[in-house]
A and B are shown apart, each in its own frame.
Chain A
Amino acid sequence: MVEPDYLKFDTLSLHAGQEPDPTTGSRGVPIYQTTSYSFVDTEHAAGLFNLEQPGHIYSRISNPTVAVLEERLAALEGGVGAVCTASGMAAFHLACATIMSAGNHVVASRNIYGGSHNMLNLTMPRFGINTTFVDPRDPDAWRAAITDDTRVLFAETLGNPGIEVLNVPVIAEIAHEHGLPLMLDATFTTPYLMKPIELGADIVMHSVTKFLGGHGIALGGVVIDGGRFDWAASGKFPTLSEPYDGYHGITFAEEYGHQALSMRARAEGLRDFGAAMSPSNAFHLLQGVETLPLRMQRHVENTSDVIEFLEGNDAVSWVSHPSVSTHPDHELAKELLPKGAGAILSFGITGGREAGRRFIENVQLASHVANVGDAKTLVIHPASTTHQQLSADDLTAAGVGEDLIRLSVGLEDPEDIIADLARALRASQKG
């Protein structure tokens, strides 16, 4: 039996979206640090503005450096197209704004990033879009929350803070049974660990700032269009299936079919909301993507070593990561994440809030920041920092116990990471 001779993942990480620059021969991706692009003539300009032909007009809408990153991320995820944005939150907003309007409704996992939760819970209702939050592990809860106004199901491939593994095929089937798309934030997994589109997701978004960039020096986000959802057949997405006056009556689903979401998100969303990625950031993020397979493999290996250490340490009362046999999603993780369940874990420190504070103050190698997915090991104790205003009961309700430490395992030598954690854990118990 013949096999398709596709370029493989590691090759695409280095090459997808870029050819040597046709003018200079530059092998590296040039930074096209420009706001605008010269038109050949008035007819050319009119054609670009009217979506009659492809090309760059203004860097808020598209830019050649950013386009390389977009094509590369679409290639790695197996999507038909990608639109990069100024941040992960901008990507989330762009996707929502492209497919929804006032009166629509979202069903979302309750275990998602705080920023995403705030947008759905506090901000979007001001624009007439409301959300019902559900337990991501409960398929019946997803089904029960869907209403006639629902337009998307949203979750993270790995939840926050419990690192819940989403059963993507099951939740995708529920979405599709109702003529709805499934949108996933895959920031914690990256396409190296999971390809959600192959599992049934329709829209994938990332904070590219995190593992995809890997260096913590540039903000960025991306919306990736799976291209398998039939927006016209669903009958619930007029922004894609009805004529749009913004481009002289074009109907995106009719003209672009499987690429309708990508085209409208750029043509309207970047044009009107303007949350574009800068070409310099795209360049920096591309440097990270080139080594994504190597880095993710090392992240997973280091995480395994750190978990083994933590499980044997007397100052640690529990460790939560899908690779741990006691994690509720351990078996599901083996099925959906065969290369590993990522590099973010949480653990409980003996001695609660005070011990947690002392632990944080005594790490030397690990960085105390409100971020994850850096090449460097990052650590935070929510009860004494991001959630310090909450009572013990409120923390429990939020799934963030007083003893919870969140760790984003980096690429340092694992012996050095472990030595740093061991020293801080010892100090934490000397209160």
Chain B
Amino acid sequence: MQLEFRGATVNFATGGVQIDDSQPPVLMVHGAGMDRTVWSQQTRYLAHHGFSAMAVDLPGHGDSTGDLVSTVPEMADWLADLIRTLNFGPVRLVGHSMGCLIALEVAARHSDVTERLVLMGAAAAMPVHPDLLGAAERNEVLAPQLMTAWAHGSRAHIAGNPTPGLWMRSGCQALLERASDGVIHNDLSACNSYEAGDIAGQVQCPVTVIVGSEDKMTPPKATAQLVAGFDEVELQHLEGIGHMMMLEAPDQIREIVLAALR
């Protein structure tokens, strides 16, 4: 599905299902350098289980056009404006990694468009290794390689893709390599410079946080610091799973997300 917004095209995956205004909307927000396809194991399922599922490509990502947005708060403002302008809301927001920061900002500062949050690979601070930031700035293939290496749990580096025939590591790397020059650096810089403050305390809607025990990019300790700030939160722990949990453990994520959204 493609919609025009602020003079640019916004692209969504909808699970191959037409958006139905009578179904509760779910908006899924991807992480740094990625796009809607990171939700490929959830979008179609949710679309056939009572939701209007929309996995969005942020501006300049995937098949969305438009200029990159350079800070997390500005990304959140863009998303909240999109939800209002296109009359989606209030929505259930599902975020991954940088998408979590965006979802948190939307929920904290645009509570009228946010009904509930589901966050995975989340932390209040996401400092980026300077070597990774440098490689991204130079648009080197090292940046996708490092992100891919750190983003998966040890099991995913060997096997375990439940979709027959797909190889998770190259899937992640190819996705990141498809990003246009500057995209990964833009997003990593946004994560690196983001200061959450007491953002969790400002969120009023129900929150579910999913943490992977082998997440190296947003380690469980960092997630715990974020979780401590919420008034009301449900924490789900996935053993042996890394940062790319919606692809590493798609069945578990589907179950948790479906239960949280209902």
Contact = CB atoms under 8 A, between A and B. Distances in A.
Contact of A78 (B14, B15, B36, B170): B170
A49 to B, nearest CB: 11
B48 interface: yes
Contacts of A67: 164-165
Nearest to A243: B16
B117 interface: no
A4 B148 contact: yes
Given A74-B166, A248-B16, A80 B174 contact: yes
B233 to A, nearest CB: 27
Interface in B159-197: 159-167, 169-171, 173-175, 177-178
A16 B158 contact: yes
Q: Choose among A4, A16, A84, A233 the residue with the greatest number of B CB atoms under 10 Å from its CB.
A: A4
Given A1-B131, A2-B129, A71 B40 contact: no
A300 to B, nearest CB: 26
A42 to B, nearest CB: 13
A2 B149 CA distance: 11
Contacts of A78: 170, 173
Contact of A16 (B62, B167, B177, B250): B167
Q: Choose among A83, A84, A254 the residue with the greatest number of B CB atoms under 10 Å from its CB.
A: A254
Interface stretch (A222-230, A338-346, A374-382): A222-230
A53 B40 contact: no
B165 A75 contact: no
Interface residues of A, number: 56
B48 A50 contact: yes
Given A47-B45, A51-B44, A67-B165, A19 B171 contact: no
Contact of A7 (B43, B45, B157, B171): B157
Contacts of A74: 165-167, 170
B145 A258 contact: no
A51 B250 CA distance: 13
Nearest to A50: B48
B13 A254 contact: yes
A167 to B, nearest CB: 21
B44 A52 contact: yes
Interface stretch (A54-62, A107-115, A286-294, A308-316): A54-62
Contacts of B231: none
A259 B169 contact: no
A71 B41 CA distance: 18
B109 interface: no
B131 to A, nearest CB: 5
B31 to A, nearest CB: 15
A66 B166 CA distance: 12
Contacts, number: 149
B175 A257 contact: yes
A50 B15 CA distance: 10
Contacts of B13: 254-255
Contacts of B110: none
Contacts of A233: 63
Interface residues of B, number: 49
Contacts of A19: 155, 158-160
A17 interface: yes
B131 A228 contact: no
Q: Choose among B129, B131, B157 the residue with the greatest number of A CB atoms under 10 Å from its CB.
A: B157
A39 interface: no
Contacts of B173: 78
A75 B165 CA distance: 10
A92 to B, nearest CB: 17
B45 to A, nearest CB: 4
Contacts of B71: none
Contacts of B235: none
A4 B11 CA distance: 32
B68 interface: no
B146 interface: yes
Nearest to A2: B131
A31 interface: no
Contacts of B175: 227, 257-258
A187 B158 CA distance: 24
Contacts of A266: 164-165
Contact of A227 (B146, B174, B254): B174
Contacts of B145: 4, 6
B164 A70 contact: yes
Contacts of B254: 53
Contact of B161 (A5, A63, A71, A257): A71
A6 B169 contact: yes
B159 A82 contact: no
A50 B44 contact: yes
B149 A5 contact: yes
Contacts of B15: 52, 250, 255
A6 B149 contact: yes
A80 B16 contact: no
Interface in A253-282: 254-259, 262, 266
Contact of B62 (A1, A247, A251, A257): A257
B82 interface: no
A53 B254 CA distance: 9
Given A50-B44, A80-B170, A266-B164, 18 more contacts: A2-B146, A17-B158, A52-B44, A53-B254, A54-B162, A63-B164, A71-B159, A74-B165, A75-B167, A79-B170, A82-B167, A230-B178, A233-B63, A254-B14, A255-B16, A255-B37, A258-B178, A259-B166
13 contacts: A4-B142, A7-B157, A16-B159, A75-B170, A80-B167, A81-B165, A228-B178, A248-B16, A250-B16, A255-B16, A256-B40, A258-B171, A259-B171
A-B complex: 10 closest residue pairs judged by Cβ atoms: A227-B174, A250-B16, A257-B37, A62-B164, A74-B167, A4-B149, A54-B163, A70-B165, A4-B145, A67-B164
Interface of A: 1-2, 4-7, 15-19, 47, 50-56, 62-64, 66-68, 70-71, 74-75, 78-84, 226-228, 230, 232-233, 243, 247-251, 254-259, 262, 266
